[in-house]
Structure 1
Amino acid sequence: MSTTEPVRPGRAQWGALILFAGVSGAVDVLAFTALGRVFAGVMTGNLVLLGLSLTGTGHEGGPTAPLLALGGYVVGVAAVAPFARRRPEESATRWPSAVVRCLAVEVVLLAAVAAGWGAADGAPAQPWLDVVLVAVAVAMGIQSAALAGAGAAGGPGTYFTGTLTHVVAHAAGPPGGRRADLGSLARLVALTGGAAVGALVFAASAPWAMAVPLVLAVAALACVATAPGPDRPMPAATTMTGDTS
């Protein structure tokens, strides 16, 4: 995947990245709340939970849920990574068409999950609960790999520790060098907001909970799929950055 283009996200990509952060927050809170106390997209956390489960002193249910989430995420990344790249003839100011198609696959997968979740009244029995966990982990792997494939015009798709570090480092930098990274800050807010909305909908009406990340993902995809013409780059003060965690 190409990750070195000297291109900042444009307006449409900016909106999509914020919405995809909301998708990540909603999916992760639902995975943690209803699918085995693990994460669908934060593999650092799952590796920690896997280590805890192996001690027999902490994580309920043993290593099964962390391993399923890790496996699903890896499958999603591996399936997308060979394709999510820009062809030489494609504009550097827009996401590659392959990236958009990969994100469309994610939307289809989330739609299938939402439909099955609703049909099961928000409480599927085993082994379907594990199937849902693997499916949403695959979706987050697809999202993360596809957005990484967009290069400098993309950004992290499911993990934001580096984004938080970047925001704080720039805000607390030396005098004269401080600036607000509004794009990254907006994604952190969207991540938190997506998690909050997902949790509230799950508490109020569990069968509709998986519709939350689906709606956000559809809106995000629409931002870039329908953007007319070359996209105008964002100002440097709102540049979105990658993550290293």
Structure 2
Amino acid sequence: MPDAVRPSPLPWLLLLLSLTTGLVDAVSVLGLGKVFTANMTGNVVFLGFALAGAPGFVIAPGLVALATFMGGALVAGRLGRAMGQRPLRRWLLIAAAFEAALLWTAAVIAAGYDVAELEPRGALYAIIGATAIAMGFRNATIRQLKVPDLTTTVLTLTITGIAADSTPAGGSNPNWGRRLGSVAAILGGAALGALLVVRTGSLVVPLFVAGALVLAGTAMCAVHPAARVPS
């Protein structure tokens, strides 16, 4: 099959990245207290709870996650504009290396972190920061790639589309496989991440696995002929 008509490997890569989102969400929610580092909608809601004085909700973790997430997105925005006319594989590999390095840095920090006690506090905020920068960077990168129905981190619009564009709603079910795959990937990643956190009592393994999947999956995508063309 000629290179020009080979299907892009990006959807498969983004499904794999969706699975790693589930891993990161399991780490943040189960191991870092009431905070998300991949899903900022949840953080804004939790901040509202904290501002209202709801028990168990703290302002600082959410603010750290929001600020560092935006920092990661800013860096990715500049990188994406700089890489726009270069081969897609170069952009993807740089992005994957950056994200994996941050996730593995968080894993190293997590080696001395007590999940049950959320201590030491310095390690808590360092893990929040490293994973939120990685997820902000990823979100901005995926946004620039513009692959329909595969955001890798947010499912609200995806699930809405499954129902609103379905046959009972009078639709034609566009990208239904991609949409269902995205839901299944994040669900599976969250289940796997929860098992790893609960069984090991540590965040090291899920963070290491997430970084390894990001880097290995992107490397496999980069060897595809479609990755030679400018992004």
Residue 141 of structure 2 is aligned to residue 146 of structure 1: yes
Residue 155 of structure 2 corresponds to 160
Contact 1:113 1:132 in 2 (8 A): yes
Contact 1:25 1:191 in 2 (8 A): yes
Contact 2:162 2:173 in 1 (8 A): no
Match among 6, 10, 22 for residue 13 of structure 1: 10
Gaps of 5+ in 1: 1-8, 233-245
Change (3 A) 1:100 1:157: farther
Deviations along 1:48-99, whole A, 9 cap, x unmatched? 111111111x152431111111111111111111112453353xxxx45224
Contact 2:49 2:57 in 1 (8 A): no
Change (3 A) 1:216 1:136: closer
- Deviation of the 1:36 alpha carbon: 2.1
- Deviation of the 1:12 alpha carbon: 2.6
Residue 55 of structure 1 corresponds to 52
Residue 193 of structure 2 is aligned to residue 195 of structure 1: no
Match among 79, 85, 103 for residue 83 of structure 1: 79
Deviations along 1:15-56, whole A, 9 cap, x unmatched? 211111111111112211121211111111111111111111
SS class of match (1:204): helix
Residue 69 of structure 1 corresponds to 65
- Deviation of the 1:197 alpha carbon: 0.9
Instruction: Write the distance in 1 (CA, Å) between the matches of 2:149 and 2:10.
Output: 7
Q: Structure 1 stretch 210-219 or stretch 136-145: which is displaced more?
A: 210-219
Contact 1:29 1:199 in 2 (8 A): yes
Residue 225 of structure 2 is aligned to residue 230 of structure 1: yes
Change (3 A) 1:217 1:149: farther
TM-score normalised according to structure 2 size: 0.82
Residue 181 of structure 2 is aligned to residue 186 of structure 1: yes
Instruction: Write the distance in 2 (CA, Å) between the matches of 1:220 and 1:111.
Output: 11
Change (3 A) 1:17 1:10: farther
- Deviation of the 1:229 alpha carbon: 4.1
> After superposition, where does 1:23-34 map in structure 2 within 5 Å?
23-34=20-31
Contact 2:68 2:129 in 1 (8 A): yes
Contact 1:12 1:231 in 2 (8 A): yes
- Deviation of the 1:141 alpha carbon: 0.5
Which has more helix, going by share of residues?
2
User: Superposition RMSD on alpha carbons, in Å?
Assistant: 2.6
- Deviation of the 1:138 alpha carbon: 1.0
